[in-house]
Chain A
Amino acid sequence: MHPAYSIIIFTTASGAGYGLLALLCLFGALGLLPAERWLGLLGFGIAFALITAGLLASSWHLGHPERAWRAFSQWRSSWLSREGVMAVATYVPSGLFAAAWVFVETTEGIWALLGLVSAVVALATVCCTAMIYASLKTVRQWHSAWVPAGYLALALMSGALWLSFLASLFGLAGAGLLVLSLLAIALGAAIKLGTWRHNAAAAKDLTSAQATGLAKFGSVRQVEAPHSQANYLMREMGHRVARKHARKLRRLAVTTAFALPFALVLLALIAPAWLAGLALFLAVASSSVGLLVERWLFFAEAQHVVTLYYGAEVA
């Protein structure tokens, strides 16, 4: 699949934003973080900025962004529509919760309930995003539970890193939060590595012979494509990444998304506050780069079934 930057930015930024939002709401609601105005302003500000930037990025990808409002209508069947509805829906409880935190400096009582609802809705939005891809039977690497698991885990991981960093600015990054971040990184890494392993092991069980209905005769090879030049389908669905190149990028992703942030959070656990803050900032930056690479690979390594008509012999 073509790795469109708009979609890579959309999924990574909104993932981090929803992860941060969910954790802020959850921790706030549970009283694990104080309803401190400036923490709230910064935390929710960054979360909403990431989410909104992601959503805006996703609309660059549209042929008709001015019609984007129509996308809220088909939530009954479409994960993309659900994602849109949930994205907007998340703003309401989380916006109220954030307002209470920032302006009233309270997260208790009814507000706590709103915070819990916000956390659930934010994570549900991430699930909806993931399900846009996981529901596609046409991309075998995507059509599995690993994809929503990965999206959720990585959203939580980037949220936890952001939260740890922000908390550290206010001297609130306690060991509990950092350990949670370490666990989130470990979970994210495990799921990503598991996904890759799963995809490598998954049989490519569709062939060009099946795609053309000619399997009963023998194997099938394309000798003349419909047109001389690449078309939309080949550009959008026929993207190929060289195996060697992919291996290199995977190493880069693992290092920057997981290994380095893990080490930096460990450092933050034991380092003085100023250094811990810097380490956590670097952890956020590194994981952001790593997740961009991871998401690029998520698309670039995915093979669409339509490639069977355009020269691929298995998918």
Chain B
Amino acid sequence: MTSLPPPTDKKLGLVIDLDICVGCHACAVSCKEWNTSGASAPLTDLDPYGANNDGVWLNRIHSYEVDDGAGGMTVNFPRSCLHCETPDCVTVCPTGASYKRAEDGIVLVNPDTCIGCKLCSWACPYGAREFDEDDGVMKKCTLCVDRVYNETLDPADRQPACVRACPTGARAFGDLGDPESAVSKLVAEREGEALLPQLGYKPVNRYLPPRPRRRDAGEAGAALTPQPLPSGAAGGDAAGDRFFRWVDRVLSR
């Protein structure tokens, strides 16, 4: 199954808005929580209360500083599987455990046939695959395939756990193969980026870039104009007399 399926119109994926992400890790922990009991359960944690604690996570949040030459930006960056259209992580798999679903393009690992050779993780430039040393198999984002079609869930909940949890609304899920979908329109409007397109894997997920920071005056103007004092005001412009500008103001209560 590691040969890729023929290209399909439906390309399920995520759109992540770097303009909005505050780096709170809500998506990452929600993902951990859902998937540790999901299709590739568990997402094992090693030495969980010890000195070298480490576990399997399918989504991790970095923070970067961007030197834009104009004061800089801090950008919070969630990173998970991009469900590429032509991923090597699938084709390098010797067993067929790593596969791309023909119906929607979701890239999955079959935990029952994975031999744990780790080669798929080597083939992925995005760090999307994490080896579960205890379970002996590779784990990765499933795009919550056991949520998005889950008929036991409320239709509103049929979206990946990360999207469901995200407090700021920085994540969206949908069919990026359909130009009319909400996510595709968002990508078009915001010029969403595919990561490292030069490697040729055609990621489905898109990242919406931060909007330029607004440090200019804009229509408000650079400063306010002080109101002149009324002529004949008793005061001069000494600090204590400046309030005379309101001496003739008629207010109503």
Binding site for B on A (CB under 8 A): 1, 61-65, 67-68, 70-74, 76-81, 84, 132, 135-139, 206, 208-214, 216-227, 229-233, 236-237, 304-306, 309-310
Contact = CB atoms under 8 A, between A and B. Distances in A.
Contact of A68 (B115, B137, B195, B207): B115
Nearest to A79: B92
A222 B64 contact: yes
Given A74-B93, A135-B88, A138-B122, 13 more contacts: A63-B116, A71-B117, A73-B94, A78-B2, A78-B119, A138-B125, A212-B207, A213-B207, A214-B209, A217-B210, A220-B64, A221-B64, A232-B131
Contacts of A74: 1-3, 93-96
A227 B79 CA distance: 13
B127 A67 contact: no
Contacts of B198: 206, 210
B199 A138 contact: yes
Given A136-B122, A229-B53, A231-B57, A63 B135 contact: yes
A233 B130 contact: yes
In this complex, the interface size class of chain B, counting residues with CB under 8 Å from chain A, is 35 or more
- Which residue, of A139, A211, A217, has the highest number of chain B Cβ atoms within 10 A? A217
Contact of B94 (A70, A219, A231, A236): A70
Given A64-B116, A137-B200, A138-B123, A77 B65 contact: no
A213 B193 contact: yes
Contacts of B57: 226-227, 231
Contacts of A76: 2-3
Contacts of A72: 94
A70 B113 contact: yes
Interface in B130-150: 130-133, 135-138
B225 interface: no
A307 to B, nearest CB: 9
Contacts of A223: 63-65, 74
B30 interface: no
Contacts of B74: 223
Contact of B92 (A80, A84, A231): A80
B252 interface: no
Contacts of A237: 121-122, 127
B173 interface: no
Interface of B: 1-4, 18, 23, 28, 52-57, 60-69, 73-75, 77, 79, 88, 90-97, 113-119, 121-127, 130-133, 135-138, 193-196, 198-200, 207, 209-210
Contact of A306 (B66, B93, B125): B125
28 contacts: A63-B116, A64-B116, A74-B1, A74-B96, A77-B2, A80-B117, A137-B123, A137-B200, A211-B196, A212-B195, A212-B207, A213-B18, A213-B195, A217-B73, A217-B209, A220-B75, A221-B67, A226-B61, A226-B62, A229-B52, A231-B54, A232-B56, A232-B133, A304-B122, A305-B196, A305-B199, A306-B125, A309-B62
Nearest to B135: A63
Contacts of B54: 227, 229-232
A144 to B, nearest CB: 15
Contacts of B196: 206, 210-211, 305
B67 A236 contact: no
B125 A65 contact: no
Nearest to A224: B63
Nearest to A315: B125
B121 A62 contact: no
A213 B63 contact: no
Contacts of B200: 137
Contacts of A224: 23, 62-63
A61 B117 contact: yes
Contacts of A68: 115
B78 to A, nearest CB: 9
A232 B124 CA distance: 13
A137 B86 CA distance: 13
A81 B94 contact: yes
Given A70-B97, A71-B115, A212 B77 contact: yes
Contact of A236 (B65, B131, B136): B131
